[in-house]
Amino acid sequence: MGSTPTTLRSAPVVATGYRYPTPTSHETLTRAVADLDGQIGKHMHQFVGAVGQLDLGEWEELHTRTLDLSPLFIPYVGYVLWGENYRRGEFMADLKRDMQRVGIDLHGELPDHLDPVLRYLDATPSPLPDLMADLPKAIGIMRTTLKKAESVNPYRHLLAATADVVEQAVKSHTETGAPR
C-alpha cells in the first residue's frame, strides 16, 4: 500500500463490506470505519450502523438477498457492463492477470467482483485503463438498480461509499498522468 495515495486507503475497508457476514464482521467493520472521515466515512458509518441493528442471521439473509442468488444488484463490474459475453471474459482475464501481479487474493470471487476490484485499486498506482474508464459507469448502474429494487436497503450506503472511492481513484489516476 505504500505507493497508493492516502485518499484510496479506504478502498479495502469498503471492500470488506461486500464479504459474506460472519460472527466477527460487524466488530471488524466498526473498528475499520472508526478512522474514516469525509463522505466515505459518512456512508460507511451509515452502513455499519444499519447492519448493526440486525442479528447475524438477518444480516446474512440481507446479504444473500442483495448480492447473491437473485441479487437486487449485480456486484460484478464486467457483467453489469457487458453481460455474459466475450468482452467481459477478456476484461476479467486482463484484470485477473494484473491482480495476480500485485498480489490480490480473490477470496473465491471472480476478478470483476467489487471486493477484489476495490482492493486492487488500493494495491496498484496504475490500475488497468479499461477499469478506470468503465468502473464509474458500472457503479452508477448498480446504484440505480438497487435504488429501484429496494431504496431503503443498507447496501445503498456501501455502494455510495464505493462510488466515492471510485471517484477518488479516477481523479488520482488522472492527476498522476497515468494513461486512461
pTM, entire model: 0.90
State the pLDDT at residue 179. 43
* CB hemisphere CA count around 57 (13 angstroms): 0
User: Does 165 reside within a domain?
Assistant: yes
User: Does 102 reside within a domain?
Assistant: yes
CB 141 within 8 A of CB 80: yes
Q: What is the mean pLDDT of residues 14-33?
A: 96
Nearest to 76 by CA among 31, 134, 30: 134
CB 91 within 8 A of CB 83: no
State the pLDDT at residue 8. 58
User: Does 104 reside within a domain?
Assistant: yes
CA distances from residue 176 to 91, 164, 168, 179 in whole angstroms, order as listed: 23, 18, 12, 9
Q: How far is 149 from 65, CA to CA, in rounded Å?
A: 11
For 69-115, write each residue's pLDDT tens digit. 788 999 999 999 999 999 999 999 999 999 999 999 999 999 999 99
The residue with cell 490480490 is 104
State the pLDDT at residue 130. 92
Residues spanned by the domain of 85:
6-175
What is the CA 177 to chain-centroid distance, rounded?
A: 24
Mean pLDDT of the chain: 91
Number of domains in the chain: 1
User: Does 61 reside within a domain?
Assistant: yes
Instruction: Please give the torsion angle defined by the CA atoms of residues 115, 117, 120 and 121, in that order, rounded to the nearest 10 degrees.
Output: -110
DSSP secondary structure string for all residues of 95-114: HHHHHHHTT---TTS-TTBH
User: Does 140 reside within a domain?
Assistant: yes
What cell does 160 get?
455510495
* SS3 of residue 1 by DSSP: coil
User: Does 1 reside within a domain?
Assistant: no
* SS3 of residue 82 by DSSP: helix
